[in-house]
Structure 1
């Protein structure tokens, strides 16, 4: 509630202290806002700090907008970018190998992350090195290499479906390795999700190209499992660090083997100057700059503005976007792919149900 202006001894109104911010979300974390008008540039607000009330004037230096709409804009951008990643991998395969795509993607992401997160280098601690290596390898290097290999042999839309298993593996490894408790409904959700994976992988027609290449789907499932270990490691060992610091150190750690891979595979020799090469390189750059570095910043901001459950709901839409791109480009899909996707998403929904 906005209090009326108080008058000083001279009879003039006492000016409110000014709190300047470009990030209203962080402001509300530092002090508990009682009531404020969200759509005004300058707003007088009553804050509670400890046990004492305080009036303050908040000046939003960033142009204000409807904050109920902004999370949905961020949500839509994330699912479009991440859902399009798999068809971009297939396009990049025109001029580059699968391992080159994964390694170059990491380098692009590391360079951009370093430009805006370098101040977070001060958060480095030697005790965190083992956890950083796990996140760098299992959260970045290995999945970014496995997904392009799978996309080279299996429709990109189907690979996008396997990526939705990440919450299932996160919960499973949290139980088996990190000792987290598991509710009955979530346990059933994990079981349903893995049944969906079996339906997805098991071909109904062994004579089709998809049916013959189904073992490559196991690589995509393995990549989702790597994500599950990485997420649990971040939550258990690196929660004292800022999201930018985690992203920065993980990318720097993953960039070391990436440089070795690109040199070993003679990556510079691929630069022939052909239009196909440049378009493939543009796809890799988009995967690294937008699909990895910027997307993680937006995702972390989405969690801060809403809830982890809302942010995790991107899992439901990403496979649909990936499948849509696959159909648009004429990829071969089978009935078991649709059945597997629906079953996996039901399992993910059960896992993401809020605990009661």
Structure 2
């Protein structure tokens, strides 16, 4: 199968998995604190990845580990905690839309630090996307006074971390297998996450707590599917395509997440939807490639 076919298959599968992750986080927070959700997500995912990929770690050189540590902290350690914290104040659907700035940040970081070529329409696309982010946050603060939209910055910081991760993998770690990169990245995140989890008191609270018993299944689904499997697929997508194309998974994630949110009774205002559409238009403009008369470049 050609890469052009494979990358679109990976994109659709990832969109469904990660689009469903937001409702899983929401359900997990019913029984656990944000730090516990983030910690359990990392620990469960790391254990599964170690079983599947510990042999692949032998393929990493000392030089590779330097970049793995940076990428692991940016994408595997901080975001699971940040997303859980954000969703204590912001709905799952809005959180997913805010996450759509990831391709914009991927382009900005790539240009600033990784020598990515810049085109005029990409500058316009980034500015439009950032404007849409401001509209989305401002509309949320106005229409949902019971929600603290300052927590949106947790999503912004996570998206920035993903941007660094994508560019690092593409430039410095693309010679490694997706399983090796994912296993190593979560290996970096495992021990600090475990320490946080231990000090959160989760083992002491778990005994006899019905809400935690029920929520643990959502956490496990989030860890095994939305974290371990999804990151393996995502690193494979980065290897098959470009950093910006890989980050474009955020095009489809909000569609899945907003649908889950709607089914769960969440409300999104017209102005918030407009902000989301502005973001997606900016992302599209950044990613759009010219069509020649000879062929279509993808």
TM over 0.5: yes
Deviation, structure 1 residue 98: 0.5
The DSSP-based 3-state class of the residue aligned with 1:152 is coil
Deviation, structure 1 residue 180: 2.1
Residue equivalent to 1:278 = 213
Residue equivalent to 1:127 = 63
Residue equivalent to 2:266 = 331
- Unaligned 5+ runs, structure 2: 292-298
Q: Is the 8 A contact 2:35 2:196 kept in 1?
A: yes
Deviation, structure 1 residue 90: 1.1
Structure 1 residues 331, 305: CA separation in 2 closer, same or farther (over 3 Å shift)? same
Structure 1 residues 310, 168: CA separation in 2 closer, same or farther (over 3 Å shift)? closer
TM-score normalised by length of structure 2: 0.88
Higher helix proportion, which one? 2
> How many angstroms apart in 1 are the aligned matches of 2:62 and 2:219?
32
The DSSP-based 3-state class of the residue aligned with 2:252 is helix
With 150-159 and 261-270 compared, the bigger mean Cα shift is at: 261-270
> How many angstroms apart in 1 are the aligned matches of 2:134 and 2:241?
34
The DSSP-based 3-state class of the residue aligned with 1:84 is helix
Residue equivalent to 1:184 = 120
Aligned match for 1:294, one of 229, 252, 256: 229
The structure whose Rg is larger is 1
> How many angstroms apart in 2 are the aligned matches of 1:204 and 1:301?
35
Once the two structures are superposed, what CA deviation does each residue of 1:67-121 show, in whole Å capped at 9, x if it has no partner?
96x8766544322211111111111111111011111111111111112212211
Once the two structures are superposed, what CA deviation does each residue of 1:150-169 show, in whole Å capped at 9, x if it has no partner?
00101111001111111110
> How many angstroms apart in 1 are the aligned matches of 2:68 and 2:48?
19
Residue equivalent to 2:106 = 170
Deviation, structure 1 residue 309: 7.1
Superposed counterparts of 1:1-356, under 5 Å? 25=1, 74-203=10-139, 206=142, 208-209=144-145, 212-301=147-236, 312-354=247-289
With 308-317 and 338-347 compared, the bigger mean Cα shift is at: 308-317
The DSSP-based 3-state class of the residue aligned with 2:116 is coil
Once the two structures are superposed, what CA deviation does each residue of 1:131-161 show, in whole Å capped at 9, x if it has no partner?
1221111111111111110001011110011
> How many angstroms apart in 1 are the aligned matches of 2:61 and 2:270?
50
> How many angstroms apart in 2 are the aligned matches of 1:126 and 1:77?
33
Q: Relative contact order: is structure 1 or structure 2 higher (C-alpha 8 Å, sep ≥ 6)?
A: 2
> How many angstroms apart in 1 are the aligned matches of 2:198 and 2:140?
41
> How many angstroms apart in 1 are the aligned matches of 2:196 and 2:214?
21
Q: Is the 8 A contact 1:95 1:270 kept in 2?
A: no
> How many angstroms apart in 1 are the aligned matches of 2:173 and 2:89?
36
> How many angstroms apart in 2 are the aligned matches of 1:259 and 1:109?
12
> How many angstroms apart in 2 are the aligned matches of 1:285 and 1:107?
10
Count of residues in Structure 1 that have an aligned counterpart in Structure 2? 291
Once the two structures are superposed, what CA deviation does each residue of 1:296-325 show, in whole Å capped at 9, x if it has no partner?
333445567788776554321111111111
Residue equivalent to 2:295 = none
> How many angstroms apart in 1 are the aligned matches of 2:27 and 2:13?
21
Structure 1 residues 293, 349: CA separation in 2 closer, same or farther (over 3 Å shift)? same
Higher strand proportion, which one? 1
Superposed CA RMSD in Å reads 2.6
Structure 1 residues 182, 267: CA separation in 2 closer, same or farther (over 3 Å shift)? same
Q: Is the 8 A contact 1:103 1:258 kept in 2?
A: yes
